[in-house]
Structure 1
Amino acid sequence: MKTIFVDGYNVINSWPNLKQTKDFSFEAARQILIDKLHNYGVFKACKIILVFDAHKVIGSLEKKEEVNKNISVVFTKDGETADNYIEKKVNVLGRKHEIVVVTSDSLEQQIVFQRGAVRMSSLEFYNEVLKVEKSIKIKADKNKNQHRNSISDNIDERTAEILEQIRRGK
């Protein structure tokens, strides 16, 4: 299974809709991002690790929350940036597993690439997520418009007539 590491604040500061939202509420921007990545992860059947910096929060301990089987959210510990956390994990996993790192930090992109990960800019990933959202919508609309299974689809004509007579009380 492909694993995607996402530099959370880098993405929030790059995606147009999240940039606007963060001006009012970082929490709301984080939650929107988590929701979008959840849908993406389920549709693409991949594991997403969303990493947020907490390196300036004095005394902060690393906190990891499993949202579901497709997405985990990590807040780094005091003194550790999202880049540091991602580099450490990619160093262990990079050449053994399929790893993608989403960040627009060019130095970070070079470092993770050297360690065996595929790099993707935040805007490239934004466009990828939009494509997946469109695919999900098309699939949902198609399922909604398909004929619903009814009992008459699964029984012969004679049985349907008998059931109709019973329904009408004849």
Structure 2
Amino acid sequence: MKTIFVDGYNVINSWPNLKQKKDSSFEGARQTLIDTLHNYGVFNACRIILVFDAHKVTGSIEKKEEVNRNISVVFTKDGETADSYIEKQVNALGRKHEIVVVTSDSLEQQTIFQRGAVRMSSLEFYNEVLRIEKSIKNKADKNRISQKNIISDNIDDRIVKILEEIRRSK
């Protein structure tokens, strides 16, 4: 299963919808990102680890929350950046796993690439997510159309014929 590491604040500051939302509610922007990544992870059958910096929060300890089986949220400990956390995890997983790292930090992109992971900029990932959301919407629309409840589907053919004759006779 592919694992995608996402530098949370980097993405929030890069995606237009989240950048705007964070101005009124940072928590709201984080939750929107979590929800979006959940849908993406389910659709693509991949594991997502969303990492937020807490390196400037004095005394903070690393906190990991399993949102569901597709997504985990990590807040780094005091003094640890999201980049350094991701680098450690990529090193631990090694080159045997398919790993993608989403960040627009160019130094981080180079470091991750050297460790065998695929790198993707935040905006590239944004466009990928939009494409997936459109695909999900199209599938949902197709299902909705194919599941229309038409009265003629639920009554006997003989009755449909009689009703049609009545309709035409007027």
TM range (shorter): 0.7 to 0.9
Partner letter of residue 145 of structure 1?
Answer: I
Partner letter of residue 42 of structure 2?
Answer: V
Give distance in 2, aligned partners of 1:19 and 1:6.
16
Which residue of structure 2 lines up, in the alignment, with residue 35 of structure 1?
Answer: 35
Which residue of structure 1 lines up, in the alignment, with residue 9 of structure 2?
Answer: 9
Name the Cα RMSD after superposition.
1.9
- Name the SS for the 1:30 alignment partner: helix
Which residue of structure 1 lines up, in the alignment, with residue 97 of structure 2?
Answer: 97
Partner letter of residue 141 of structure 1?
Answer: D
Q: CA deviation digits over 1:16-53, x for unaligned, max 9?
A: 01111111111010000000000000000000000000
Which residue of structure 1 lines up, in the alignment, with residue 84 of structure 2?
Answer: 84
Give distance in 2, aligned partners of 1:149 and 1:116.
51
Which residue of structure 2 lines up, in the alignment, with residue 165 of structure 1?
Answer: none
Q: Which has the higher helix share?
A: 2
Which residue of structure 1 lines up, in the alignment, with residue 45 of structure 2?
Answer: 45
Which residue of structure 1 lines up, in the alignment, with residue 63 of structure 2?
Answer: 63
Matched ranges for 1:119-158 at <5 A? 119-147=119-147
Which residue of structure 1 lines up, in the alignment, with residue 109 of structure 2?
Answer: 109
Gaps spanning 5+ residues in structure 2: where? Answer: 160-170
1:94 CA drift (Å): 3.4
Which residue of structure 2 lines up, in the alignment, with residue 26 of structure 1?
Answer: 26
Gaps spanning 5+ residues in structure 1: where? Answer: 162-170
Partner letter of residue 140 of structure 1?
Answer: A
Q: CA deviation digits over 1:52-111, x for unaligned, max 9?
A: 000001110100000111000000000000000000000111301000000000000000
Give distance in 1, aligned partners of 2:149 and 2:46.
31
Percent identity reads: 83
Give distance in 1, aligned partners of 2:59 and 2:36.
30
1:147 CA drift (Å): 3.4
- Name the SS for the 1:50 alignment partner: strand
- Off by >3 Å, runs of 4+ in structure 1: 147-150
Give distance in 2, aligned partners of 1:42 and 1:149.
29
TM score, norm. by length of structure 1:
0.87
Partner letter of residue 61 of structure 1?
Answer: I
Give distance in 1, aligned partners of 2:79 and 2:11.
20
Give distance in 1, aligned partners of 2:78 and 2:121.
26
Partner letter of residue 34 of structure 1?
Answer: I
Partner letter of residue 131 of structure 1?
Answer: R
Give distance in 2, aligned partners of 1:61 and 1:112.
24
Give distance in 2, aligned partners of 1:71 and 1:137.
21
